[in-house]
Structure 1
Amino acid sequence: MKLRYALIPAMAGRAFAGPVRRADAAGSVIAQMFQWSWDSVAQECSDFLGPAGYAYVQVSPAQEHPQGEEWSAEYQVVSYNLTSKHGDRAQYANMISTCHEAGVKVIADTLFNHMSGPYSGTAVGGSTFAPYDYPAVPFTTSDFHHCNNGHDDQIEDNSNATEVRFCELDTLSDLATESDYVRGKLAAYANDLLSLGIDGLRLDAAKHMQPADIANILSRLTSSVYITQEVASIQSDAVKPTEYVDNGAVQVFDYVGWFKDAFTDDSKGIWILHELDQQGWVESDRANVFVTNHDTERNGAALTYSSTNNVYHNALVLSLAHPYGTPTVLSSYEFSEATDGAPSSGVGDCSNDSGWLCQHRQMAGMVGFRNHVGDAALTNWIAPSSQRIAFARGALGFVIINNANEEWSSEFSTGLPEGTYCDISQVNSASGIDSACTGVMQLVVDGSGNLNVTVPPRFSFAFHTGAVCTGSSCP
């Protein structure tokens, strides 16, 4: 989708309406396992996500879609049968129960806004479809918007809220979500997912639906779940993100642009990210944030795994260390073309040269950091230049980010108790590190809470009171 960035005024004093819930502040990291099969996600919940402390796993859409290897195929709906290229209904249910056993909740990526594009065929589960004709639901032409705007029903003017919500996005058949019949079918789809134990819903393309339509569908859910909405918009647009906060959390695309600018533009710098929750965006408990997701890593709007100077890793460290929002860590794969589907037919593989990037594993230490510091206040802020920052999370954790090309030698007032701490910013093991800080930097905080250290160029340190060196090899 086309993304733009600006500041969003906070909606003070608002509360969620309907059967939605906020993510737990002290254990709220989401892993987006993009294009992983259901069996692979189940295994990764047991092997890594649960032991590492991830609270949620966001999985790809589960409903039936057209055949095709492109990743975008599954974002086109043919029916609400739970058969996709990632597995069948039984495998999906097994994934949910396995993840729950590992202590990980599951968020389903869902599609309420549209069906498939303007072509006919047989879908992955055997259902037939044609433009505005989906017998397996069933939907017919009267269940869709036909905006008659002179542009083949396509959105042409993003400054026109009516077009954005009643015309077609990228030729996808736009559902008439104001229709009680359509609302009923979408609620039944969501409730079927909930009946299998789903703990949350990501609402794809929420910007292209009226907030009242979403609210009505959510009011029909049979249980309380975490809701996060993709509203790829800015407050000055005709469709405003703050219009959606009463329905649940909103994915903050401003955050993506700010992080890219901060880490790549010295005239802005990472110091501007001091208090993200005071930048005019949606309030922290309504914000679902990410450095990049599957769309923005393909359209140039974000930092990605291929960004230079270690900025992607450092940005993820900052995202997980800062208290604003509920962070999502994208776990994806290498691609040559933006349309490329996953390697190995979606069978996730974190071994070398598999094509899978497994960023969720690389950030395991920082997931532990966020879980440990919980909702502790951001204190002891230091920003001697635009590309160097450090801050504490109460007396529980401290992070230093040097996004400059030179070393940073300084004495840092951490506010932490005296001790020898393990740098967990580079830890990629679900089991963490031993009490001797084997394989990682040891950071010595003196009796006054001060740390003297030299931070390498384009590097980060992070440590907390839950990872203290107590072995015989400690200095």
Structure 2
Amino acid sequence: MPHNVRAVVRAAVGALAACLVVGGLVACSPTVESVEVEPAPPDVGIQLFQLPWTAIADECETTLGPNGFAWVLTSPPNEHIVRDEWWASYQPVSHAIDSRLGSREEFADMVERCDGAGVAVIADAVVNHMTGQDTPGTGWAGSAYEHYEYPGLYTDADFHHCGLTADDDIQDYTSREQVQTCELVNLADLDTASPSVQATITAYLEDLLALGVAGFRIDAAKHMAADDVAAIVAPLPAGTRIMSEVIRGGGEPITPEEYVGFGEVFEFTYARDLTPPLQNGVFNDPELDGDRPLHVPSDSALVFVDNHDTERGEARVTYRDAAMYIIANALMLADDYGTPVVYSGYAFSDRDAGAPTDSDGRVTPVSCALETDVPADDYDDGARTCVQTWPAVAGMLEFRAFAGDAPRLEGVDAGDAYGFEREGRGVVAVNVGSETQRIEIPTSLPSGKYCDVVSGGRDAVVDDGCRGETYTVSDGTVRIDLAPQTAVAIHIGGRL
């Protein structure tokens, strides 16, 4: 460097300026904003379907806590019928915390270890019904039962016998009375309007709270009157999180809005709106001002790409569509609507197939920390998908934290590509087509180079470079060349 030219880096409040001294004159480049943004606390949940308590405890410590998940939804902890299918867990025999997923002691240890890792535990509570078995039997933990007799718990008088259909099963979902008093596929339907039944259910939930859980997913809440559910959860301590499963159906009288007075609800419409554009390449921004049509308010909504039911039914994008699944989850985690729930299960070709078990019938624990951290092109039946370890998911959790409460702005559509900004905090873009697409997205992010957290994962900035791809914001625009069926996300905390 010539003796009369020297580099000067000058720090100013909230800014950095690069200056050169040439011939006694000082010339400075435009300042580059130095923005300090405090990441928001984690809010995203994950459903670890049919995973034993010991394995969930391990996941909390090795992947969920470190990757920024706020809570984990377990499968039902109740004693259940002895069957191999996954839905056996959803046919309770008693309220004992003893199942093929683990013992009461293992459940309590899991909650303690997850809490220690900063991950709250939400238990799936099956309280609408008991078994669907016509033949008397013995449950997993040795409890004897009959279809309408559960010694020490419920007797025949505690169940609905609706008398509205030939076999007492629901046939007409436009009938509120059938949906909430008849049986769902022969499952013995509890009379949840009965004070004694309500008290028994509340006692079960209180027992789980005593073990440290933070709240409950209320399975089949739609099949119970909202007032019944409200009465059941009313005695629980303030702050207990209640998440009701209420599947929205066109033309049906029962709606999720009825259940938001005492907690959150799973908004099934969200996934139904999210995935079609991924397959047809036609994107439309949701309503960005006020409430979204046919959705509960954002602060009451739990949103998801798929879950254990929909991946076996209506879901149009699942783990089988690895590239699209990453795109769908990226869009969900980048959105400003609702609280996202990521789903992690196991591969299956038979929709009834349960998770792999050992010789004693217990579900086999699997550590996803020891598995591959990218989605597979193909899975053997029973293999865990381990979505919680995917770098793209961990990276999007970081994106969400830096996006905080910044609003979602109007999107940009370019062929099969689409993207949008969380104002001043981050930009996400996706390409669902089969050819490379360029998309230019206006942004208020400061100019500079940014690390993509989809390809680079969490903490993508390393040694003044990026673990994944690098993209440049210049003159209020970020230009992104997207390979086929890929996603890109940059955020304010990932600027070089």
Name the TM-score, length of structure 2 as normaliser: 0.84
Partner of 1:208: 223
Contact 2:165 2:171 survives alignment (8 Å): no
- Letter of the 2:367 partner, please give it: D
- 1:259-408 alignment runs, 5 A limit: 259-266=274-281, 269-273=282-286, 275=288, 277-307=291-321, 310-343=323-356, 345-350=363-368, 351-352=371-372, 355-362=383-390, 363-379=393-409, 381-385=411-415, 387-408=416-437
Measured in 2, the distance between the counterparts of 1:346 and 1:153 equals 37
Q: 1:180 to 1:393 in 2, by over 3 A?
A: same
- 1:43-122 alignment runs, 5 A limit: 43-118=58-133, 119-122=135-138
- Letter of the 2:326 partner, please give it: H
- Letter of the 2:479 partner, please give it: N
**Structure 1 SS opposite 2:113:** helix
For residues 154-177 of structure 1, the C-alpha deviation after alignment (integer angstroms, 9 at most, x for no partner) is: 001111100000000011100000
**Structure 1 SS opposite 2:412:** strand
Structure 1 residue 433, shift from structure 2 partner: 5.3
Partner of 1:465: 492
Measured in 2, the distance between the counterparts of 1:294 and 1:433 equals 35
1:424 aligns with 2:453: yes
- Letter of the 1:299 partner, please give it: G
Partner of 2:139: 123
Contact 1:30 1:329 survives alignment (8 Å): yes
Contact 1:235 1:241 survives alignment (8 Å): no
1:415 aligns with 2:444: yes
Partner of 2:166: 151
**Structure 2 SS opposite 1:155:** coil
Measured in 2, the distance between the counterparts of 1:302 and 1:191 equals 37
Q: Which moved more, 1:420-429 or 1:273-282?
A: 273-282
Aligned residues: 439
**Structure 1 SS opposite 2:284:** helix
Partner of 2:480: 453
Measured in 2, the distance between the counterparts of 1:346 and 1:422 equals 38
Measured in 2, the distance between the counterparts of 1:195 and 1:171 equals 32
1:221 aligns with 2:239: no
Measured in 1, the distance between the counterparts of 2:68 and 2:195 equals 41
Measured in 1, the distance between the counterparts of 2:161 and 2:465 equals 62
Name the TM-score, length of structure 1 as normaliser: 0.88
Unaligned 5+ residue runs, structure 2? Answer: 1-38, 358-362, 373-378
Q: Which moved more, 1:363-372 or 1:217-226?
A: 217-226
Contact 2:285 2:410 survives alignment (8 Å): no
Structure 1 residue 244, shift from structure 2 partner: 1.2
Measured in 1, the distance between the counterparts of 2:235 and 2:150 equals 23
Contact 2:270 2:304 survives alignment (8 Å): yes
For residues 23-47 of structure 1, the C-alpha deviation after alignment (integer angstroms, 9 at most, x for no partner) is: x985210010111110000011000
Relative contact order, higher structure (CA 8 A, sep 6+): 1
Q: Which moved more, 1:206-215 or 1:359-368?
A: 359-368
Partner of 1:169: 184
Q: 1:467 to 1:139 in 2, by over 3 A?
A: same
Contact 2:456 2:467 survives alignment (8 Å): no
Alignment RMSD: 2.0
Measured in 1, the distance between the counterparts of 2:84 and 2:455 equals 34
For residues 66-118 of structure 1, the C-alpha deviation after alignment (integer angstroms, 9 at most, x for no partner) is: 11221110111111110011111111111111011101111111011000112
Q: 1:295 to 1:361 in 2, by over 3 A?
A: same
Measured in 2, the distance between the counterparts of 1:190 and 1:53 equals 27
For residues 413-470 of structure 1, the C-alpha deviation after alignment (integer angstroms, 9 at most, x for no partner) is: 22111221111113456x6553444441011222x2322231112211001111223x
Structure 1 residue 196, shift from structure 2 partner: 1.1
Measured in 1, the distance between the counterparts of 2:100 and 2:487 equals 39
- Letter of the 2:443 partner, please give it: T
**Structure 2 SS opposite 1:461:** strand
Structure 1 residue 307, shift from structure 2 partner: 2.9
For residues 220-262 of structure 1, the C-alpha deviation after alignment (integer angstroms, 9 at most, x for no partner) is: 1134211111001236312122111112111111112222322
Measured in 1, the distance between the counterparts of 2:492 and 2:260 equals 35
Measured in 1, the distance between the counterparts of 2:421 and 2:207 equals 44
- Letter of the 1:254 partner, please give it: T
Partner of 1:473: none
Partner of 1:444: 472
